[in-house]
Amino acid sequence: MSSFLSSCAIAAWLVAVQAGGSARQPAPPALQFETLDLRPADEPHLRRLDPDRLRTIVELVGLEDPGPPIRVMFAPEDSELARATSPWIAGLAHGATGTVVLFPSRSPRYPHDSLEAVLRHEVAHVLIVRAADGQALPRWFHEGLAVVAERAWHFEDRWRLAWALVPADQVRMDEVNDLFEAGASGARRANALASAFVRHIIETQGSDMPARILAAVANEVPFEVAFEQATGRSLVDAERSFHASLTSWTRRLPLLTSPFVLWMIVTLLAVSAIYVGRRRSAERRRKWADEDANETPSRDARTPPRDWVH
């Protein structure tokens, strides 16, 4: 999973590895690969990342100019940064320095499905910081918008969202912020909730909603005020609308896929199979008995004459 870095130690590490200047580039953002230590299957995908998909991220956050090249680095597992980063995190981004770090030896996990997706996610973090001019943003908005920018909505997202709602139907976004610090499972739940909420706001308020919020924040408007100005409703009202919009199918999916229900289904199928099998066996035995009765000759006919030798 990816995470937006705020640790001073990690920030210092990222700053230290950078050298030289950078020239501003038109959209899409330019990616400057510092080192490559990848599996052969990954390298061509990252080097030829679809520029249209990167341009879409620039448009989503409302930037006319994506800014200087984003530096992409690859950290081996024996590096100091890798040792200081939880093993379930596949990528990091530092918006202030425009740097992305990927851990290519780590298998991407939800919400990512490939190393390429991790790279898009981290690039989105950098562009979000630039669109907000470095002003503070809540973690749920940062991560939720990065997931939206990374890829389209999948069935797994709906499944993850349904499971994320099991502990409590009504989840506040400030509670989601805390989930990001609750380990791998907490971060997966937080990503599902945050990305679903951001998608809901985009679907109900328009695709330019993130850009409007970020532009206001860049002008030093507090996030919640910027949110209300851009959407016409408070964050609390938007959260209520989000939870009210969730379908009953989404809410019931965890129940339908719970271990207890799955075990009951398997048990019922097994009992049904046994019943059907025994019923068919009994029918076959009755059929064979009827056939034997019809084909059996009389005693005189089947008893050979006494003078016959057999």
Of 7-16, 99-108, 164-173, the least confident: 7-16
Provide the β-strand partners of residue 33.
72
125 in Cβ contact with 93 (< 8 Å): yes
Mean pLDDT of 57-82: 90
CA distance 244 to 169: 10
pLDDT of residue 226: 96
In the structure, what pLDDT confidence band is assigned to residue 82 with cuts at 50, 70 and 90?
confident
CB atoms within 10 A of CB 82: 16
Collect all residues with Cβ–Cβ distance below 8 Å to 220 and sequence separation of at least 6. Answer: 135
In the structure, what pLDDT confidence band is assigned to residue 70 with cuts at 50, 70 and 90?
very high
pLDDT of residue 108: 74
Is residue 238's pLDDT more than 50? Answer: yes
Provide the β-strand partners of residue 102.
74, 91
And the tokens for 81? 């940064």
- Domain locations along the chain: 2-251, 259-293
Answer CATH for 2-251 from 1.10.390, 3.40.50, 1.10.10, 2.60.40: 1.10.390
Is residue 11's pLDDT more than 50? Answer: no
Is residue 180's pLDDT more than 90? Answer: no
CA angle 26-29-34, nearest 5°? 125
Is residue 124's pLDDT more than 90? Answer: yes
Provide the β-strand partners of residue 195.
none
CA distances from 110 to 46, 131, 177 (A): 19, 26, 17
In the structure, what pLDDT confidence band is assigned to residue 132 with cuts at 50, 70 and 90?
very high
Collect all residues with Cβ–Cβ distance below 8 Å to 124 and sequence separation of at least 6. Answer: 57, 60, 61, 145, 146, 149, 150
Mean pLDDT of 208-222: 96
What's the pLDDT tens digit per position in 285-302? 676 666 566 655 544 444
Mean pLDDT of 156-164: 59
Is residue 284's pLDDT more than 80? Answer: no
Collect all residues with Cβ–Cβ distance below 8 Å to 123 and sequence separation of at least 6. Answer: 29, 31, 54, 57, 70, 93, 100
Q: Which of 23-27, 39-43, 197-201 has the highest mean pLDDT?
A: 197-201
Mean pLDDT of 194-213: 92
Torsion sign, CA atoms 97, 121, 253, 173:
positive
pLDDT of residue 181: 85
70 in Cβ contact with 126 (< 8 Å): yes
231 in Cβ contact with 237 (< 8 Å): no
What's the pLDDT tens digit per position in 239-264? 888 888 776 445 545 444 445 444 55
Of 248, 247, 227, nearest to 236 by C-alpha is 227
